[in-house]
Protein backbone atom coordinates (compact mmCIF):
# COMPACT_ATOMS: atom_id res chain seq x y z
CA UNK A 1 0.00 0.00 0.00
CA UNK A 2 1.31 3.48 -0.81
CA UNK A 3 -1.34 5.34 1.20
CA UNK A 4 -4.06 4.86 3.83
CA UNK A 5 -7.55 6.37 3.94
CA UNK A 6 -9.14 7.65 7.11
CA UNK A 7 -11.39 4.62 6.96
CA UNK A 8 -8.36 2.30 6.84
CA UNK A 9 -6.78 4.04 9.82
CA UNK A 10 -9.98 3.80 11.90
CA UNK A 11 -10.26 0.10 11.22
CA UNK A 12 -6.62 -0.60 12.00
CA UNK A 13 -6.15 1.61 15.04
CA UNK A 14 -9.16 0.29 16.98
CA UNK A 15 -8.38 -3.39 16.39
CA UNK A 16 -6.31 -5.80 18.45
CA UNK A 17 -4.24 -6.72 15.36
CA UNK A 18 -2.35 -3.40 15.60
CA UNK A 19 -0.96 -4.43 18.98
CA UNK A 20 1.38 -6.74 17.08
CA UNK A 21 2.96 -3.68 15.45
CA UNK A 22 3.77 -1.29 18.31
CA UNK A 23 5.67 1.18 16.18
CA UNK A 24 2.83 1.40 13.66
CA UNK A 25 0.31 2.01 16.43
CA UNK A 26 2.41 4.75 17.99
CA UNK A 27 2.85 6.37 14.58
CA UNK A 28 -0.93 6.61 14.18
CA UNK A 29 -1.35 7.82 17.76
CA UNK A 30 1.23 10.53 17.20
CA UNK A 31 -0.10 11.71 13.84
CA UNK A 32 -3.83 11.26 14.44
CA UNK A 33 -6.77 9.48 12.82
CA UNK A 34 -6.68 10.86 9.31
CA UNK A 35 -5.83 9.91 5.74
CA UNK A 36 -2.14 9.25 5.02
CA UNK A 37 -1.08 10.21 1.51
CA UNK A 38 1.98 8.74 -0.26
CA UNK A 39 3.84 11.88 0.89
CA UNK A 40 3.01 11.15 4.55
CA UNK A 41 4.09 7.54 4.17
CA UNK A 42 7.35 8.55 2.51
CA UNK A 43 8.16 10.89 5.42
CA UNK A 44 7.70 8.11 8.02
CA UNK A 45 10.49 6.05 9.58
CA UNK A 46 11.78 3.13 7.52
CA UNK A 47 10.14 0.57 9.79
CA UNK A 48 6.76 2.32 9.46
CA UNK A 49 7.13 2.60 5.69
CA UNK A 50 7.87 -1.12 5.64
CA UNK A 51 4.74 -1.94 7.64
CA UNK A 52 2.58 0.15 5.35
CA UNK A 53 4.13 -0.65 1.95
CA UNK A 54 4.84 -4.37 2.42
CA UNK A 55 2.24 -5.46 4.95
CA UNK A 56 -0.40 -2.70 4.99
CA UNK A 57 -2.98 -4.66 2.99
CA UNK A 58 -2.51 -7.82 5.07
CA UNK A 59 -2.71 -5.88 8.34
CA UNK A 60 -5.87 -4.13 7.17
CA UNK A 61 -7.54 -7.39 6.09
CA UNK A 62 -6.68 -9.05 9.41
CA UNK A 63 -8.16 -6.08 11.26
CA UNK A 64 -11.39 -6.23 9.24
CA UNK A 65 -11.92 -9.83 10.32
CA UNK A 66 -12.35 -8.67 13.91
CA UNK A 67 -15.48 -6.67 13.05
CA UNK A 68 -19.02 -7.94 12.80
CA UNK A 69 -22.40 -6.47 12.10
CA UNK A 70 -24.18 -5.72 15.40
CA UNK A 71 -27.64 -6.00 13.81
CA UNK A 72 -28.63 -2.46 14.68
CA UNK A 73 -29.66 0.30 12.33
CA UNK A 74 -30.43 4.01 12.47
CA UNK A 75 -33.02 5.26 10.01
CA UNK A 76 -35.09 8.13 11.41
CA UNK A 77 -33.08 10.94 9.86
CA UNK A 78 -32.31 11.65 6.24
CA UNK A 79 -28.77 13.07 6.55
CA UNK A 80 -26.63 10.63 8.48
CA UNK A 81 -22.81 10.71 8.42
CA UNK A 82 -20.62 7.58 8.22
CA UNK A 83 -18.17 7.37 11.13
CA UNK A 84 -15.63 5.52 9.02
CA UNK A 85 -15.42 7.48 5.79
CA UNK A 86 -17.24 10.70 6.69
CA UNK A 87 -19.76 10.55 3.85
CA UNK A 88 -22.98 12.48 4.59
CA UNK A 89 -26.54 12.48 3.27
CA UNK A 90 -27.09 8.84 4.20
CA UNK A 91 -30.61 7.58 4.92
CA UNK A 92 -29.45 4.73 7.17
CA UNK A 93 -26.47 3.71 9.30
CA UNK A 94 -25.42 0.23 10.44
CA UNK A 95 -23.56 -0.61 13.60
CA UNK A 96 -20.36 -2.66 13.30
CA UNK A 97 -18.47 -3.81 16.34
CA UNK A 98 -14.99 -5.15 16.96
CA UNK A 99 -15.48 -8.53 18.61
CA UNK A 100 -12.19 -8.20 20.56
CA UNK A 101 -11.80 -4.54 21.50
CA UNK A 102 -15.50 -3.64 21.58
CA UNK A 103 -15.03 -0.59 19.36
CA UNK A 104 -18.19 0.36 17.46
CA UNK A 105 -18.75 2.40 14.32
CA UNK A 106 -21.96 3.59 12.70
CA UNK A 107 -21.34 3.17 9.01
CA UNK A 108 -23.11 3.49 5.68
CA UNK A 109 -24.11 0.61 3.44
CA UNK A 110 -20.99 0.95 1.29
CA UNK A 111 -18.55 0.86 4.17
CA UNK A 112 -20.17 -2.14 5.77
CA UNK A 113 -19.29 -4.06 2.62
CA UNK A 114 -15.62 -3.49 3.45
CA UNK A 115 -15.63 -6.14 6.14
CA UNK A 116 -16.26 -9.17 3.96
CA UNK A 117 -19.17 -10.32 6.08
CA UNK A 118 -20.94 -13.31 4.55
CA UNK A 119 -24.29 -12.22 3.04
CA UNK A 120 -23.81 -8.78 4.55
CA UNK A 121 -26.56 -7.39 2.35
CA UNK A 122 -28.99 -9.91 3.82
CA UNK A 123 -27.88 -8.92 7.33
CA UNK A 124 -28.51 -5.26 6.64
CA UNK A 125 -31.87 -6.03 5.06
CA UNK A 126 -32.85 -7.98 8.15
CA UNK A 127 -31.87 -5.02 10.30
CA UNK A 128 -33.97 -2.68 8.20
CA UNK A 129 -36.83 -5.18 8.29
CA UNK A 130 -36.64 -5.09 12.07
CA UNK A 131 -36.49 -1.29 12.06
CA UNK A 132 -39.50 -1.20 9.73
CA UNK A 133 -41.44 -3.50 12.06
CA UNK A 134 -40.73 -1.21 14.99
CA UNK A 135 -42.01 1.82 13.08
CA UNK A 136 -45.00 0.05 11.47
CA UNK A 137 -45.85 -2.91 13.73
CA UNK A 138 -49.30 -3.36 12.14
CA UNK A 139 -47.92 -3.82 8.61
CA UNK A 140 -49.16 -7.40 8.13
CA UNK A 141 -52.64 -6.43 9.27
CA UNK A 142 -52.65 -3.36 7.05
CA UNK A 143 -51.83 -5.24 3.85
CA UNK A 144 -54.44 -7.96 4.48
CA UNK A 145 -57.69 -7.50 2.58
CA UNK A 146 -60.50 -7.62 5.16
CA UNK A 147 -62.72 -10.69 5.14
CA UNK A 148 -66.28 -9.36 5.04
CA UNK A 149 -69.77 -10.81 4.72
CA UNK A 150 -70.88 -8.05 2.35
CA UNK A 151 -69.23 -6.75 -0.80
CA UNK A 152 -66.91 -3.76 -0.46
CA UNK A 153 -67.83 -1.41 -3.35
CA UNK A 154 -65.20 -1.65 -6.07
CA UNK A 155 -64.06 2.03 -5.84
CA UNK A 156 -63.19 1.49 -2.17
CA UNK A 157 -61.78 -1.97 -2.81
CA UNK A 158 -59.58 -0.70 -5.67
CA UNK A 159 -58.41 2.24 -3.58
CA UNK A 160 -57.39 -0.12 -0.77
CA UNK A 161 -55.56 -2.45 -3.17
CA UNK A 162 -53.70 0.50 -4.70
CA UNK A 163 -52.64 1.93 -1.35
CA UNK A 164 -51.56 -1.47 -0.05
CA UNK A 165 -49.39 -1.85 -3.15
CA UNK A 166 -47.88 1.59 -2.52
CA UNK A 167 -47.10 0.65 1.08
CA UNK A 168 -45.50 -2.62 -0.02
CA UNK A 169 -43.34 -0.75 -2.52
CA UNK A 170 -42.36 1.83 0.11
CA UNK A 171 -41.28 -0.94 2.46
CA UNK A 172 -39.23 -2.64 -0.24
CA UNK A 173 -37.60 0.67 -1.10
CA UNK A 174 -36.75 1.36 2.55
CA UNK A 175 -35.33 -2.10 3.16
CA UNK A 176 -33.16 -1.67 0.08
CA UNK A 177 -32.04 1.80 1.26
CA UNK A 178 -33.70 3.63 -1.60
CA UNK A 179 -36.07 5.69 0.52
CA UNK A 180 -36.54 6.98 4.05
CA UNK A 181 -38.91 5.43 6.59
CA UNK A 182 -41.01 8.59 6.46
CA UNK A 183 -42.27 7.54 3.02
CA UNK A 184 -43.52 4.23 4.42
CA UNK A 185 -45.20 6.06 7.30
CA UNK A 186 -47.04 8.30 4.83
CA UNK A 187 -48.21 5.25 2.89
CA UNK A 188 -49.35 3.60 6.10
CA UNK A 189 -51.55 6.62 6.86
CA UNK A 190 -53.12 6.38 3.41
CA UNK A 191 -53.94 2.70 3.94
CA UNK A 192 -55.47 3.50 7.34
CA UNK A 193 -57.52 6.27 5.77
CA UNK A 194 -59.06 3.87 3.25
CA UNK A 195 -59.56 1.11 5.79
CA UNK A 196 -61.45 3.57 7.99
CA UNK A 197 -63.72 4.37 5.05
CA UNK A 198 -64.36 0.65 4.61
CA UNK A 199 -65.06 0.22 8.33
CA UNK A 200 -67.64 3.01 8.14
CA UNK A 201 -69.25 1.42 5.10
CA UNK A 202 -69.43 -1.97 6.83
CA UNK A 203 -70.86 -0.38 9.97
CA UNK A 204 -73.58 1.34 7.95
CA UNK A 205 -74.47 -1.57 5.65
CA UNK A 206 -73.75 -4.93 7.26
CA UNK A 207 -77.38 -5.14 8.43
CA UNK A 208 -78.76 -3.60 5.23
CA UNK A 209 -81.00 -6.26 3.68
CA UNK A 210 -80.07 -5.00 0.20
CA UNK A 211 -76.30 -5.08 0.71
CA UNK A 212 -74.73 -7.59 -1.70
CA UNK A 213 -73.34 -10.59 0.17
CA UNK A 214 -69.86 -11.85 -0.68
CA UNK A 215 -71.33 -15.34 -1.04
CA UNK A 216 -73.12 -14.06 -4.17
CA UNK A 217 -69.74 -13.29 -5.78
CA UNK A 218 -68.36 -16.70 -4.84
CA UNK A 219 -71.51 -18.35 -6.24
CA UNK A 220 -71.13 -16.43 -9.49
CA UNK A 221 -67.47 -17.44 -9.86
CA UNK A 222 -68.33 -21.12 -9.38
CA UNK A 223 -70.97 -21.18 -12.12
CA UNK A 224 -69.94 -22.51 -15.50
CA UNK A 225 -70.04 -20.08 -18.41
CA UNK A 226 -72.88 -22.06 -19.96
CA UNK A 227 -75.09 -21.81 -16.87
CA UNK A 228 -78.16 -19.67 -17.57
CA UNK A 229 -78.08 -18.21 -14.05
CA UNK A 230 -74.56 -16.89 -14.76
CA UNK A 231 -75.65 -15.46 -18.10
CA UNK A 232 -78.50 -13.61 -16.40
CA UNK A 233 -76.37 -12.34 -13.51
CA UNK A 234 -73.44 -11.29 -15.72
CA UNK A 235 -75.42 -8.31 -17.04
CA UNK A 236 -75.65 -6.74 -13.56
CA UNK A 237 -72.59 -8.12 -11.76
CA UNK A 238 -70.30 -5.17 -12.54
CA UNK A 239 -72.89 -2.76 -11.18
CA UNK A 240 -73.35 -4.82 -8.02
CA UNK A 241 -69.60 -4.88 -7.45
CA UNK A 242 -69.42 -1.12 -8.02
CA UNK A 243 -72.21 -0.09 -5.64
CA UNK A 244 -72.33 -3.05 -3.25
CA UNK A 245 -76.10 -2.49 -2.99
CA UNK A 246 -79.00 -4.05 -4.89
CA UNK A 247 -81.16 -1.65 -6.87
CA UNK A 248 -84.55 -2.04 -8.59
CA UNK A 249 -82.81 -2.73 -11.87
CA UNK A 250 -80.76 -5.68 -10.62
CA UNK A 251 -82.33 -7.15 -7.48
CA UNK A 252 -84.13 -9.87 -9.46
CA UNK A 253 -81.23 -10.91 -11.70
CA UNK A 254 -79.25 -12.88 -9.10
CA UNK A 255 -80.56 -16.33 -8.20
CA UNK A 256 -77.88 -17.29 -5.71
CA UNK A 257 -79.68 -19.63 -3.27
CA UNK A 258 -79.59 -17.40 -0.19
CA UNK A 259 -80.45 -14.24 -2.12
CA UNK A 260 -83.26 -16.07 -3.88
CA UNK A 261 -84.55 -17.35 -0.54
CA UNK A 262 -84.50 -13.76 0.70
CA UNK A 263 -86.55 -12.60 -2.31
CA UNK A 264 -89.00 -15.46 -1.87
CA UNK A 265 -89.47 -14.61 1.80
CA UNK A 266 -90.07 -10.95 1.00
CA UNK A 267 -92.45 -11.85 -1.82
CA UNK A 268 -94.55 -14.18 0.31
CA UNK A 269 -94.60 -11.63 3.16
CA UNK A 270 -95.71 -8.81 0.84
CA UNK A 271 -98.22 -10.88 -1.17
CA UNK A 272 -101.77 -9.87 -0.20
CA UNK A 273 -103.97 -12.13 -2.38
CA UNK A 274 -105.75 -15.26 -1.15
CA UNK A 275 -106.28 -16.82 -4.60
CA UNK A 276 -102.79 -18.25 -4.78
CA UNK A 277 -100.74 -20.00 -2.15
CA UNK A 278 -96.93 -19.91 -2.44
CA UNK A 279 -94.47 -22.36 -0.93
CA UNK A 280 -91.00 -23.79 -1.56
CA UNK A 281 -89.83 -27.34 -1.96
CA UNK A 282 -86.76 -28.88 -0.29
CA UNK A 283 -84.51 -27.54 -3.06
CA UNK A 284 -85.70 -23.99 -2.48
CA UNK A 285 -87.78 -23.65 -5.66
CA UNK A 286 -90.94 -21.57 -5.49
CA UNK A 287 -94.30 -23.18 -6.23
CA UNK A 288 -97.83 -21.83 -6.37
CA UNK A 289 -101.06 -23.74 -5.81
CA UNK A 290 -104.58 -22.67 -6.66
CA UNK A 291 -108.03 -24.20 -7.16
CA UNK A 292 -109.38 -24.50 -10.72
CA UNK A 293 -112.84 -25.99 -11.19
CA UNK A 294 -112.65 -27.44 -7.68
CA UNK A 295 -109.28 -29.09 -8.37
CA UNK A 296 -106.13 -28.08 -6.53
CA UNK A 297 -103.37 -27.54 -9.09
CA UNK A 298 -99.67 -26.95 -8.38
CA UNK A 299 -97.56 -24.68 -10.59
CA UNK A 300 -93.80 -24.16 -10.67
CA UNK A 301 -93.01 -20.45 -10.57
CA UNK A 302 -90.66 -18.78 -13.05
CA UNK A 303 -88.86 -16.96 -10.26
CA UNK A 304 -86.78 -14.69 -12.48
CA UNK A 305 -89.80 -13.47 -14.44
CA UNK A 306 -91.89 -13.01 -11.29
CA UNK A 307 -89.21 -11.09 -9.37
CA UNK A 308 -88.47 -8.90 -12.38
CA UNK A 309 -92.10 -7.87 -12.61
CA UNK A 310 -92.38 -7.06 -8.91
CA UNK A 311 -88.84 -5.81 -8.22
CA UNK A 312 -90.05 -2.30 -7.40
CA UNK A 313 -92.42 -3.61 -4.73
CA UNK A 314 -89.72 -5.91 -3.35
CA UNK A 315 -87.21 -3.07 -2.96
CA UNK A 316 -89.53 -0.53 -1.33
CA UNK A 317 -91.58 -3.07 0.64
CA UNK A 318 -94.99 -2.39 -0.92
CA UNK A 319 -97.76 -4.99 -0.85
CA UNK A 320 -97.95 -7.19 -3.94
CA UNK A 321 -101.16 -7.78 -5.87
CA UNK A 322 -101.19 -10.23 -8.82
CA UNK A 323 -103.74 -9.62 -11.57
CA UNK A 324 -102.76 -12.59 -13.74
CA UNK A 325 -100.46 -15.33 -12.47
CA UNK A 326 -100.35 -17.32 -15.71
CA UNK A 327 -97.33 -15.57 -17.30
CA UNK A 328 -95.19 -16.50 -14.28
CA UNK A 329 -96.02 -20.17 -13.76
CA UNK A 330 -95.85 -23.58 -15.43
CA UNK A 331 -97.77 -26.65 -14.41
CA UNK A 332 -95.78 -28.86 -12.09
CA UNK A 333 -95.09 -32.08 -13.98
CA UNK A 334 -96.11 -34.88 -11.64
CA UNK A 335 -98.61 -37.63 -12.41
CA UNK A 336 -101.16 -36.64 -9.78
CA UNK A 337 -100.90 -32.95 -10.57
CA UNK A 338 -101.41 -33.48 -14.30
CA UNK A 339 -104.40 -35.70 -13.59
CA UNK A 340 -105.92 -32.96 -11.44
CA UNK A 341 -105.16 -30.31 -14.02
CA UNK A 342 -106.66 -32.29 -16.90
CA UNK A 343 -109.77 -32.93 -14.82
CA UNK A 344 -110.15 -29.17 -14.41
CA UNK A 345 -110.07 -28.65 -18.19
CA UNK A 346 -113.09 -28.30 -20.45
CA UNK A 347 -113.64 -31.25 -22.82
CA UNK A 348 -111.18 -33.33 -20.81
CA UNK A 349 -112.95 -36.49 -22.00
CA UNK A 350 -110.96 -36.07 -25.23
CA UNK A 351 -107.66 -36.72 -23.42
CA UNK A 352 -106.83 -40.38 -23.91
CA UNK A 353 -103.48 -40.49 -22.09
CA UNK A 354 -100.21 -38.72 -21.35
CA UNK A 355 -96.60 -39.64 -20.65
CA UNK A 356 -94.25 -37.62 -18.48
CA UNK A 357 -91.25 -39.79 -19.32
CA UNK A 358 -91.76 -39.56 -23.07
CA UNK A 359 -93.25 -36.06 -22.95
CA UNK A 360 -96.48 -36.34 -24.94
CA UNK A 361 -100.25 -36.04 -24.75
CA UNK A 362 -102.72 -38.19 -26.75
CA UNK A 363 -106.07 -36.59 -27.70
CA UNK A 364 -109.02 -38.44 -29.21
CA UNK A 365 -110.21 -37.12 -32.56
CA UNK A 366 -114.05 -37.33 -32.56
CA UNK A 367 -115.68 -39.25 -35.40
CA UNK A 368 -112.30 -40.48 -36.63
CA UNK A 369 -110.33 -43.63 -35.89
CA UNK A 370 -107.19 -41.88 -34.78
CA UNK A 371 -105.53 -40.09 -31.91
CA UNK A 372 -103.62 -36.81 -32.02
CA UNK A 373 -100.19 -37.08 -30.42
CA UNK A 374 -99.06 -33.69 -29.10
CA UNK A 375 -95.47 -33.28 -27.94
CA UNK A 376 -93.72 -32.00 -26.02
CA UNK A 377 -96.15 -32.29 -23.15
CA UNK A 378 -94.75 -29.13 -21.54
CA UNK A 379 -95.81 -26.97 -24.50
CA UNK A 380 -99.25 -28.52 -24.54
CA UNK A 381 -99.64 -27.72 -20.85
CA UNK A 382 -98.48 -24.14 -21.42
CA UNK A 383 -101.27 -23.66 -23.97
CA UNK A 384 -103.83 -25.34 -21.75
CA UNK A 385 -103.02 -23.20 -18.72
CA UNK A 386 -104.30 -20.15 -20.63
CA UNK A 387 -107.85 -21.36 -21.24
CA UNK A 388 -108.10 -24.93 -19.88
CA UNK A 389 -109.83 -26.15 -23.05
CA UNK A 390 -108.78 -29.42 -24.71
CA UNK A 391 -110.73 -28.70 -27.92
CA UNK A 392 -108.92 -25.36 -28.37
CA UNK A 393 -105.59 -27.12 -27.88
CA UNK A 394 -106.44 -29.59 -30.65
CA UNK A 395 -107.47 -26.74 -32.94
CA UNK A 396 -104.28 -24.78 -32.23
CA UNK A 397 -101.94 -27.72 -32.34
CA UNK A 398 -99.70 -25.84 -34.80
CA UNK A 399 -98.39 -23.89 -31.78
CA UNK A 400 -96.80 -27.07 -30.45
CA UNK A 401 -93.41 -28.15 -31.79
CA UNK A 402 -94.46 -31.64 -32.84
CA UNK A 403 -97.95 -33.03 -33.41
CA UNK A 404 -99.14 -35.89 -35.58
CA UNK A 405 -101.98 -38.41 -35.91
CA UNK A 406 -101.82 -42.11 -35.10
CA UNK A 407 -104.42 -44.59 -36.23
CA UNK A 408 -106.04 -46.39 -33.36
CA UNK A 409 -105.32 -49.68 -35.11
CA UNK A 410 -101.61 -48.83 -35.05
CA UNK A 411 -101.73 -48.21 -31.33
CA UNK A 412 -103.60 -51.45 -30.67
CA UNK A 413 -101.14 -53.39 -32.79
CA UNK A 414 -97.95 -51.89 -31.33
CA UNK A 415 -98.83 -51.09 -27.74
CA UNK A 416 -96.78 -53.97 -26.32
CA UNK A 417 -93.79 -53.37 -28.59
CA UNK A 418 -93.52 -49.56 -28.19
CA UNK A 419 -92.48 -48.70 -24.60
CA UNK A 420 -93.85 -45.14 -24.76
CA UNK A 421 -97.33 -46.51 -25.59
CA UNK A 422 -97.16 -49.32 -23.13
CA UNK A 423 -96.22 -47.15 -20.14
CA UNK A 424 -98.40 -44.14 -20.87
CA UNK A 425 -100.90 -43.01 -18.24
CA UNK A 426 -104.46 -43.44 -19.50
CA UNK A 427 -106.71 -40.56 -18.51
CA UNK A 428 -109.92 -41.43 -20.40
CA UNK A 429 -110.44 -44.77 -22.17
CA UNK A 430 -111.77 -43.98 -25.65
CA UNK A 431 -113.66 -46.01 -28.17
CA UNK A 432 -111.53 -48.00 -30.60
CA UNK A 433 -108.58 -48.61 -28.22
CA UNK A 434 -108.22 -52.06 -26.68
CA UNK A 435 -107.42 -51.65 -22.98
CA UNK A 436 -108.18 -55.09 -21.58
CA UNK A 437 -104.79 -56.42 -22.74
CA UNK A 438 -102.82 -53.43 -21.42
CA UNK A 439 -102.50 -54.34 -17.77
CA UNK A 440 -99.68 -51.87 -17.18
CA UNK A 441 -101.82 -48.88 -18.06
CA UNK A 442 -102.56 -46.47 -15.21
CA UNK A 443 -106.25 -45.82 -15.28
Q: 3-state SS of 86-145?
A: CCCCECCEEEEEECCCCCEEEECHHHHHHHCCCCHHHHHHHHHHHHHHHHCCCHHHHCCC
Res 121: pLDDT: 57
Strand partners, 426: 353
pLDDT score recorded for residue 442: 46
Return the pLDDT at 92: 82
Beta strands (DSSP E) in 346-410 are 351-355, 360-364, 370-375, 402-407
Below-70 pLDDT ranges, the chain: 116-124, 436-443
Rounded Cα distance, 307 and 313, in Å: 9
Position 21 scores a pLDDT of 85
Give SS3 for 280.
strand
What are the residue boundaries of the structural domains of the chain, listed by start?
Answer: 1-65, 139-205, 215-331, 335-426
Give the predicted TM-score (pTM) of the model: 0.69
DSSP state of 212: P
Report which of 262, 265, 334 is spatially closest to residue 296, judged by C-alpha positions.
Answer: 334
Cα–Cα distance for residue pair 84/87, rounded to 1 Å? 8
Give residue 201's pLDDT: 97
What is the structure's pLDDT at 123? 60
Per-residue model confidence (pLDDT) at position 436: 64
- Residue 14 has a pLDDT of 92
pLDDT of residue 120: 53
pLDDT at 443: 42
Looking at residue 119, its pLDDT comes to: 46
Amino acid sequence: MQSLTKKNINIIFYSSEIDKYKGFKEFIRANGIKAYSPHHVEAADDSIKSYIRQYGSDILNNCKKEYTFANQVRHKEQDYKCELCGHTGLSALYLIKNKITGKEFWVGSSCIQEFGLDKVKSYTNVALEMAFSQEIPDYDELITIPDTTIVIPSPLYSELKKRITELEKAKKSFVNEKSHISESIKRREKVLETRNKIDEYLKDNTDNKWAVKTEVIEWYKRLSDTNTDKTTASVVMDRLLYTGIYEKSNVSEVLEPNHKAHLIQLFTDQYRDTRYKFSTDQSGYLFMSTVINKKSIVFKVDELKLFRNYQNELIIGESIQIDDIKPYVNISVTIDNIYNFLESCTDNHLVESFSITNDFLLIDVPNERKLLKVEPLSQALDILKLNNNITDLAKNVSKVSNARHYKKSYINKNVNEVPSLKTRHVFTPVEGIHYEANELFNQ
